[in-house]
Structure 1
Amino acid sequence: MFGIGIPELLVIFVLILLVFGAKRLPEIGGGLGRAIKNFKKATTEPDEIDVTPSSEKKHKDE
């Protein structure tokens, strides 16, 4: 796995814990999880195309 073993992961986790603190760690994890979820959703979701004829758009705007 990218040449990173258990000892390296533990060191990274301890450094993150020291930098951000135990209270902010769940907050950061939740934000990261939401970001990944939204990114995956955006990449798999087809783009929405507006197929409303232009004459109908003009009537709705007025």
Structure 2
Amino acid sequence: MAVRMKTFPCERCYFRRRAEADPNSLLARFWRWHTRWCPGWKAYQLELARREAEAADNLG
């Protein structure tokens, strides 16, 4: 049975990729500010942590 992963816009966000490519840019500064309060980013981070913990449980 295939498990469908929840997807988030943050996974393919153009601004995020640009900010990560040039961490000293103005866009990167804006991105870091945005992630402090964005509920979508926080949910995405929780999901990544859940996936990582699940993968660790499956390994050992």
Is the pair's TM-score, using the shorter chain for normalization, greater than 0.5? no
Please report the TM-score for the alignment, with normalisation by the length of structure 2: 0.40
Q: Which has the higher relative contact order, 1 or 2, with Cα contacts under 8 A spaced 6 or more apart?
A: 2
Q: TM-score, normalised by structure 1?
A: 0.39
Asked which structure has the greater CA Rg, the reply is 1
